[in-house]
Chains A and B, each alone.
Chain A
Amino acid sequence: SQKIEQNSEALNIQEGKTATLTCNYTNYSPAYLQWYRQDPGRGPVFLLLIRENEKEKRKERLKVTFDTTLKQSLFHITASQPADSATYLCAPGSYNFNKFYFGSGTKLNVKP
């Protein structure tokens, strides 16, 4: 069965640095991959979607890469701010299904 792996350990970085989060998947060939942000006690919020024919996608301080050979996506936040502190979830998806599964998320702590 498909497996989605995100680093379960929290990532602690200093304000102003670049945060890089990893999402690996196995037994799966997704057509796209999404990243969501979740704050404590709230539902996830969509951030970015990258398709399999796109190597990189950017939105303001966010950058996502998608390597279908490595079966990996990297999520970068440049010039990180304490307000970026949250849990970030990845979700590979396929157009063959009306559902997709989320990784368990990586908690990011940005210290001032």
Chain B
Amino acid sequence: SQTIHQWPATLVQPVGSPLSLECTVEGTSNPNLYWYRQAAGRGLQLLFYSVGIGQISSEVPQNLSASRPQDRQFILSSKKLLLSDSGFYLCAWSFGQETQYFGPGTRLLVL
């Protein structure tokens, strides 16, 4: 069966510091991968998605970037965090264009 991992679970970072969140999927090959952000009490905002190694599509302009160095690894990064980057970050995978399966999420607090 497929499993999706995200780490860390919680992160507190100062403004201006770098960020690296990692997501890995087990049990499937060539999945579509997604990064979402959810502000407190709000809906899911699609940040990036990838249909293959090195292929990244960005949804919104921001100071975040994503990379997919391996088939089942998706990384979300920032060189300098802003206060507005605080939120709940979710990684998801899908096989094809339908159902997405979400990871446990990373709660990021930028102070």
Contact = CB atoms under 8 A, between A and B. Distances in A.
A49 B97 contact: no
Interface stretch (A19-27, A38-46, A60-68): A38-46
Contact of B34 (A32, A41, A99): A99
Interface of B: 32, 34, 42-44, 46, 49, 51, 57, 59, 88, 90, 92, 97-105, 107
The contact size tier of chain A is: 20 to 34
B102 A49 contact: no
30 contacts: A32-B98, A34-B99, A41-B88, A41-B107, A43-B90, A43-B92, A43-B102, A43-B105, A44-B44, A44-B90, A44-B100, A46-B99, A46-B100, A49-B99, A89-B43, A89-B44, A93-B98, A98-B32, A98-B49, A98-B51, A98-B57, A99-B34, A99-B46, A99-B57, A99-B59, A102-B43, A102-B44, A103-B43, A104-B42, A105-B43
Given A98-B51, A102-B43, A103-B43, A34 B98 contact: yes
B105 A42 contact: yes
Q: Helix, strand, loop or mixed for chain B's interface?
A: strand
Nearest to B107: A41
A32 B97 CA distance: 10
Nearest to B105: A43
Given A43-B90, A98-B51, A99-B34, A93 B46 contact: no
A99 B101 CA distance: 13
B49 A41 contact: no
Given A43-B90, A43-B105, A99-B34, A104 B43 contact: yes
A105 B34 CA distance: 19
Contacts of A32: 98
Interface string A25-61: 0000000101000000111111001000000000000
Given A43-B92, A44-B90, 13 more contacts: A41-B88, A42-B104, A43-B90, A43-B104, A46-B99, A49-B99, A93-B97, A98-B51, A98-B97, A99-B57, A99-B59, A101-B46, A104-B42
